[in-house]
Amino acid sequence: MNPLRDLLFDYTLRTVALGAGTLGIVAGALGTYAVLRRQSLLGDAISHAALPGIVLAFILTGMKSTLVLVLGAALAGWLGTLVVMMIVRHSRLPEDSALGIVLSVFFGAGLVLLTYVQKLPDASQAGLDSFLFGQAATMLERDVVVIAVLGAIALLAVVVFWKEFKILSFDPEFGASLGMPMRSIDILLTTFLVIAIVIGLQTVGVVLMSAMVIAPAAAARQWTNSLSVMVLLSALFGAMAGVTGALISSTAQHVPTGPTIVLCATVLVLISMAFAPERGLIWAAVQRRQQRRQIRADAVLGDLYALAGHHESEHAHDVTVLEAMRAGRTDVHRALDILEERGLARRDGTGGWTITRAGRAEAEQAGESGPDGQHEREGSA
């Protein structure tokens, strides 16, 4: 089986991959703001709150059209976010408690309605339970069009209201001082976040959709401090997770697409947490190791400077003397190699070591910072 060939010529796989990739772009871009505003649980609340809207839309219309069910989900999700805002505003409950209450109450109501509908004698309700975990394999071309159109509206809003959303994410108090309607902007951003979530319920499902919003943005955050770059990276990671998940699920039997997409997004998060510069765990470990080597090299440089004060400036000192001064706390050979690379110490023909003029200048500069700092460095070494 050739995955690339199947992606181009297999109608079902192409449709699912295109829909999942589009969903990843939209959810990733909008999820950036949820992550920056520390509202990760909001995506979970919206997706769970959408379930009763899906069932009620079917009950009222008798239709399982994607657009009809998405509109019902959007209304329910939007109502859920408004309830959260009202609880936070008019009570002493913190936002996370309000989100947890709305999530559980709306999701519980959705399960009750879903159970009721499933017991009806009408067979047209079959398949509604697929919205719990998603059923991407049933996606049709018209479903992709719905995702693309609604997603394009949400992305266009991000472009049009870029400045307002940026201020809301980083300094809403400053925006309010400028006379900007921050509460209305908050509702507007939440509305488009609702759109980004509900268009993915068929693909990923109510239970896992929040991961598609949060995971790409969390991965992108590890790589950059720029909002624009983060939005683009998050959209790219979301698209990668969607297409890769669709490809993997197509090559293995009985592997659901939605959970596979979420797992692909999780892998991207783990890779980013491990290898991203400045924030990655491996990067941090390398930096700490380099800092420890630097501290040890500076300590040995201080020893060479102290020895030079008791002898002629060109007098070479054996490594064993420096090792005795360090009392086994430092790899003196490695420290001297580092100092030699930096031009702060040099080896003579007999294997002894002397401090250079540059090394003397740096040691004197370090000494001017105070003995406490020098002692602290030596103790760390």
Of the candidates 56, 35, 55, 54, the residue with the CA atom closest to the CA atom of residue 44: 35
Task: Give the pLDDT confidence score for residue 381 in this predicted structure.
Answer: 39
For residues 149 and 236, membership in a common domain is answered with yes
For residues 210 and 328, membership in a common domain is answered with no
Q: Is the dihedral of CA 62, 147, 42, 171 positive or negative?
A: negative
For residues 157 and 12, membership in a common domain is answered with yes
pLDDT above 90 for 9? no
For residues 158 and 216, membership in a common domain is answered with yes
The CATH number for 337's domain is 1.10.10.10
The CATH number for 33's domain is 1.10.3470.10
Range of the domain at 195: 3-273
Name the DSSP class of 317: B
For residues 318 and 258, membership in a common domain is answered with no
Q: Tell me the C-alpha to C-alpha distance, in Å, between residue 330 and each of 28, 223, 296, 333, 335.
A: 47, 34, 6, 9, 8
pLDDT above 80 for 59? yes
With 0-12 / 13-18 / 19 or more C-beta atoms within 10 angstroms meaning exposed / middle / buried, residue 240 is buried
pTM of the model: 0.77
Task: Give the pLDDT confidence score for residue 314 in this predicted structure.
Answer: 67
Instruction: Outline where 309-331 has alpha helix (H).
Output: 319-326
Q: What is the pLDDT of residues 116-134, one digit of tens each?
A: 888 777 655 656 777 777 7
Domain termination residue (choose one: 273, 305, 337): 273
Q: What is the pLDDT of residues 323-347, one digit of tens each?
A: 788 776 667 878 888 888 888 888 8
- Can you tell me whether residue 180 is helix, strand or coil? coil
Containing 237, the helix (H) or strand (E) segment is helix 227-251
Q: What is the pLDDT of residues 184-217, one digit of tens each?
A: 998 899 889 988 888 888 788 887 888 899 999 9
The token duo for 101 is 């209450």
- Which of 82-86, 172-176, 192-196, 351-355 is predicted with the least confidence, judged by mean pLDDT? 351-355
Task: Give the pLDDT confidence score for residue 224 in this predicted structure.
Answer: 92
Of the candidates 166, 204, 244, the residue with the CA atom closest to the CA atom of residue 43: 204
CA atoms of 195 and 140, how far apart (whole Å): 19
Is 279 a domain residue?
Answer: no
For residues 103 and 241, membership in a common domain is answered with yes
Task: Give the pLDDT confidence score for residue 376 in this predicted structure.
Answer: 42
For residues 155 and 30, membership in a common domain is answered with yes
Contact (Cβ atoms closer than 8 angstroms) between residue 237 and residue 249: no
Containing 243, the helix (H) or strand (E) segment is helix 227-251
Work out how many domains the chain is built from and give that number. 2
- Which of 135-139, 159-163, 248-252, 271-275 is predicted with the least confidence, judged by mean pLDDT? 135-139
Is 166 a domain residue?
Answer: yes
Domain termination residue (choose one: 222, 254, 273): 273
